[in-house]
């Protein structure tokens, strides 16, 4: 069976040219970047060069980039680091949107539940759009940080981060604005200075780089408390020996993502439109979620009445199609999507979510084949559900 991978939003394969750049730092160049001997200096030079390359891709200063072990760590460093550094002076109020990745949403709830912060969760509309005015209305003189993601990881809906940042800063000039841009890099221009934010999170494995490395962009002049202490790496913002090979791979992947972004975004947008049309033709009551929003390329998301996501994913997997119900971090649990719930969908529909996400290797033939498999799987599940309902107790 030839498998069709439609879960690139969960992770992407390591690009061959990225692996090629990483190999020397996995094999022959093994120094610690903090060591002063020749091997250490070579490792430090590689990290510094990678930081410069990523800064060029983002249009920022290299000193503003903090390397982390993941996008999740970058999100945690933003929320916890700002709250710990500024909470006593500016207030302990956080504002996050209801459609955030769990790395932001669960962290914010934990901080509130443990009494370290007050929390306001800003909603969205039926199309997964977060209103700048609604976010600003939640801001108070005690607000220390606002976090709204750039591209939603379940629906692909793009938020107007520039307008949100402007509205927040107008309401409270001291409030800092963070955006999780993990799903945006490689799909949209990601220039944090132009967006007007103060902090921005990224992850390498979403852009054909290695797993286990991310970054937090921190606007120059914004101080935050380190959440890992020790040797003082990353300008005392994240102590730990740098993952040299991973950082080099991140830089190579970021440059590649920028080179192919325009062409790939156009191509993948067409593939997702074709998949959406084909699925809806075969399943007339399928709901295309966030259809009215501006969506990043590579996302086709649905809700199927009368279908459970966990069963659908297992069925598709057996039929050779790999997809997800939403965030890969939570899709193992058969729970209604918190994003669809925030969009106003009842639990029955929110529990029937399907996210298909394309990548550079996705072909037109795969899209056409996947549409048939998805429609057939939904039909078979409904037949089984009908038979179970009709069976005598």
3-state secondary structure 295-317: ECCCEEEEECCCCCHHHHHHHHH
For 113-156, the three-class secondary structure string (H helix, E strand, C coil) is HCCCCEEEEECCCCCCCCCHHHHHHHCCCCEEEEECCCECCCCC
Among residues 361, 370, 374, 368, which one has the least CA distance to residue 14? 361
Per the annotation, the verdict on 329 as an active-site residue is: yes
Q: How far apart are CA 74 and CA 200, in angstroms?
A: 8
Phi and psi at residue 151, in whole multiples of 5°?
-125, 125
Report the b/e string of 24-43 with b at 16+ CB within 10 A.
ebeeebebebeeeeeeeebb
Residue in 124, 272, 329, 356 annotated catalytic: 329
CB 145 within 8 A of CB 135: no
Separation of alpha carbons 153 and 9, rounded Å: 7
Q: Please list the active-site residues.
A: 329
């Amino acid at each position: 069976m030839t498998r069709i991978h439609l879960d690139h939003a969960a992770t992407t394969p390591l690009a061959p040219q990225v692996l090629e750049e990483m190999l020397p730092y996995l094999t022959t160049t093994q120094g610690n970047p903090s060591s002063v001997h020749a091997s250490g200096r070579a490792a430090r030079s590689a990290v510094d060069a990678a930081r410069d390359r990523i800064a060029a891709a983002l249009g920022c200063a290299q000193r503003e980039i903090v390397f982390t072990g993941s996008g999740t760590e970058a999100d945690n460093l933003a929320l916890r680091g700002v709250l710990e550094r500024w909470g006593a002076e500016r207030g302990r109020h956080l504002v996050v949107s209801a459609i955030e990745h769990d790395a932001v949403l669960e962290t914010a709830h934990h901080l509130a539940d443990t009494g370290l912060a007050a929390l306001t969760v800003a909603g969205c509309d039926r199309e997964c759009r977060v209103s700048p005015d609604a976010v600003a209305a939640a801001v108070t003189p005690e607000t220390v940080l606002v976090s709204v993601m750039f591209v939603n990881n379940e629906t692909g809906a793009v938020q107007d981060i520039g307008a949100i940042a402007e509205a927040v800063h107008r309401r409270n000039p001291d409030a800092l604005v963070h955006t999780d841009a993990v799903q945006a890099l490689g799909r949209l221009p990601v220039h944090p200075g132009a967006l007007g934010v103060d902090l921005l999170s990224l992850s390498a494995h979403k852009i054909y780089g290695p797993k286990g490395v991310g970054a937090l962009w921190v606007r120059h002049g914004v101080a935050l408390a380190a959440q890992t202490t020790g040797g003082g790496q990353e300008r005392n913002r994240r102590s730990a020996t740098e993952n040299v090979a991973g950082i080099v791979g991140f830089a190579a992947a970021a440059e590649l993502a920028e080179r192919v972004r325009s062409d790939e975004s156009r191509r993948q947008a067409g593939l997702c439109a074709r998949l959406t049309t084909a699925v809806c033709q075969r399943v007339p009551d399928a709901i295309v979620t966030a259809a009215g929003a501006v969506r990043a390329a590579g996302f086709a998301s649905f809700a199927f009445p009368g279908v459970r996501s966990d069963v659908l994913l297992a069925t598709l997997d057996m039929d050779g199609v790999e997809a997800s119900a939403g965030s890969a971090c939570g899709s193992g649990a058969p729970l209604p999507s918190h994003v669809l719930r925030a969009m106003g969908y009842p639990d029955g529909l929110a529990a029937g979510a399907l996210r298909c996400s394309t990548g550079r290797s996705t072909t037109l033939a795969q899209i056409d084949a996947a549409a048939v498999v998805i429609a057939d799987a939904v039909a078979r599940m409904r037949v089984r559900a009908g038979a179970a309902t009709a069976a005598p107790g």
